[in-house]
Amino acid sequence: MDQPPKESGFSSSWLLIAGLLLGAGAALLGFMAWDSSSKREHASAGSGAVIELTAANWRSEVLESKVPVVVDFGATWCGPCRDLAPTIDRLAERYKGKVKVCKVDVDKASDIAREYGISGIPNVMIFDAGQKQESLEGLRSENTYVRKIDALLAHLGGR
């Protein structure tokens, strides 16, 4: 069974308590730190099947993948990207074993974003055999991603 990651340093709960002790302004800052931390934990909790991509693993995880790959290009500061995170987690769970689902932080992997012409985020690309098949810029409904993935899988079934 997966164990939750161990926290290092001060937890956001301690920031909230410190903020409460120091006054209203500090309490607000503490709450904001706690709230953003809990959202990050929730977004990454998901199925655990979403792979974080970097320049180091791009080739092996995407270009050399034996299964189709859905890549979510985004950034931590991007509101629509954060809104998309639960959908990406559900897609990873839904297509486990059939499709690889990955995320790229465009700030940390700017070379990859530049190479694929990412000019707006979120941008979800679907790859097959190392080749880009689809590019969906902007926040879309979960059903849109499902239809695109299902169409690709149906097409691949004919090979």
Domain with 38 in it: 12-45
Residue 138 placed within a domain: yes
- Looking at every residue in the chain, the average pLDDT score rounds to 79
Residue 102 annotated in active site:
no
Residue 78 annotated in active site:
yes
- Does residue 119 share a domain with residue 81? yes
Residues 15, 62, 81, 125: which is the catalytic one?
81
Question: C-alpha distances in angstroms, 14 versus 9, 20, 113?
Answer: 10, 10, 36
- Does residue 89 share a domain with residue 31? no
- Does residue 142 share a domain with residue 105? yes
How many beta carbons lie within 10 A of that of residue 109, not counting itself? 21
Residue 127: pLDDT band (50, 70, 90) is very high
Q: Name the pTM for this structure.
A: 0.69
Residue 151 placed within a domain: yes
Residues 15, 70, 78, 121: which is the catalytic one?
78
pLDDT in tens, 79-110: 999 999 999 999 999 999 999 999 999 999 99
133 SS3 class: strand
Q: What are phi and psi of 158, to 5 degrees?
A: -85, 0
pLDDT at 131 over 50: yes
Residue 7 placed within a domain: no
Number of domains present in the structure of the chain: 2
- Does residue 79 share a domain with residue 30? no
Residue 2 placed within a domain: no
Q: Beta strand pairing status for 51-53 and 100-105?
A: parallel
